[in-house]
Copies of this chain bind each other. A is one copy, B any other.
Amino acid sequence: MRSTTFEGALAYDPEAEEANVTPLPVARICPRPPPSSWASISMDCLARTGYEVTLCDPLAESGALAQVIGERKALLVTTPTVDRVHGSAIRRALAKTDAVSMLVLNAREESKSMDLVHAVCAEALARGINRRGLLVSFGGGVCSDIVTLAASLIRRGVGHVRIPTTLIGQIDAGIGLKGAVNFCGKKSFVGCFHPPEQVLIDSSLLRTLPPRFLISGLAEAFKMGIGRDESLFALLARRSRDLVESGFADEAAREVLQRSIWSMLDELRKNPYEDQSYERLVDFGHTFSPALEAALDFRIHHGEAVAIDIALSSTIASCLGLLDNDGWEEIVGALEAASLPISSPRLDLELGRSALTEACRHRGGSMNLVVPSAVGHATFLRRREELADPVLIEAIDRIAARAGAGK
């Protein structure tokens, strides 16, 4: 017999019952007939994804993590330091579920490699994480980089949730779509875009961070303040010391987090996969800094290198007459007041030039150096020719002199 079928619904088939089997739901599959002949077919594939960044302070009591995980099997990945400091809080947050296992991974920037990604994948396999399973990263940028990439690979992509434990993680690295590791000595050469399901922000996790980590994290907040949010900048200029001294328990902390996160997401939204434009405001502070970090063998914090880049880029804008002296003074003064470095002896013409060459290569042939035109406003130097060596030398010398004077 041929089963009775109709579209999009279930059919009850009496003959099936006569044959002594359970009645079967049968759905019609409606194929589109092929054209009589074709030479080329276009295939559209739209991926609809999205995620939420949620403030849940304090995480251990909020129930947010258990709620996100729900009934799913999950693997939580963390680092030894985070486990030591916050392990008991996270175990408390997960007390009511036994579907979560934990992997403590000794992950550091210099060892951020595919080996660690594979370690996460192997653990997920051993724990029986299926396509509906979940990874959770509980740590800083290195931890979330590794977990994001592992989640993108496991069974062609499982969900992941991030709980950033550093300021940079909470306002920058942890709230985007990206993950990457170093490969054959090349920083972030292999990676992915794999949006998380949720990012849970608990600012009380910042309380135990050493001041240097908080200060360097502020550089990413300054990036957004100088680049697009005057109020955020004003808040930072006024309160950065209080924020650091209180471990972000200061009353300004919530607004700094909210404004920084909002700005970051608002920028990402325009170009989440970086395929719409090579002009990205979030590249502010990220043109000279990668070369500087590499030259210093990562003995400098990422945020410190970003602050130096912001200071140099602002000085370039000033030398080119794009930023007035008051604006330059405000920016550089606020970075100094936050105890951020504004210059490095290692940042010379040669390093600057090679950083710009790499930026051009990375940005589709355009330099796209982001420079402030005022506090809260930025613009792009698009072509390499727009930044001649004499200007670069002048800017490097001027910011070095300022740094020297400040000592």
Contact = CB atoms under 8 A, between A and B. Distances in A.
Interface residues of A, number: 107
Interface string A350-389: 0000000000011010000000011001111110011010
A327 B38 CA distance: 30
A156 interface: yes
B29 A192 contact: no
A27 B118 CA distance: 43
A273 B41 contact: no
A28 B229 CA distance: 13
Interface string A234-276: 0000000000000000000010001101110111110011100
Nearest to A35: B262
Interface string A325-346: 0010000000000000000000
A138 to B, nearest CB: 19
Interface stretch (A80-88, A95-103, A183-191, A292-300): A183-191
Contacts of A52: 40-43
A31 to B, nearest CB: 4
A26 B22 CA distance: 70
Interface in A41-64: 41-55
A398 to B, nearest CB: 15
Contacts of A40: 52-55
Interface string A300-327: 0000000000000000000011111001
Nearest to A40: B54
A108 interface: no
B131 A362 contact: yes
A157 B26 contact: no
Copies in the complex: 2
Contacts of A186: 125
A393 interface: no
A404 interface: no
A189 B125 contact: yes
A370 to B, nearest CB: 9
Q: Name A's interface SS.
A: mixed
Given A39-B54, A46-B47, A321 B16 contact: yes
Contacts of A125: 183-184, 186, 189
Q: Which of A2, A227, A228, A281 has the most CB of B within 10 A?
A: A2
15 contacts: A5-B377, A22-B386, A29-B227, A29-B228, A29-B281, A29-B377, A31-B229, A35-B262, A40-B54, A43-B51, A46-B48, A47-B49, A121-B189, A131-B364, A154-B190
Interface of A: 1-3, 5, 13, 15-16, 18-19, 21-22, 24-29, 31-32, 34-35, 37-55, 114, 118, 121-122, 125, 130-132, 152-157, 177-178, 180, 183-184, 186, 188-193, 195, 227-229, 254, 258-259, 261-263, 265-269, 272-274, 279, 281, 320-324, 327, 361-362, 364, 373-374, 377-382, 385-386, 388, 391
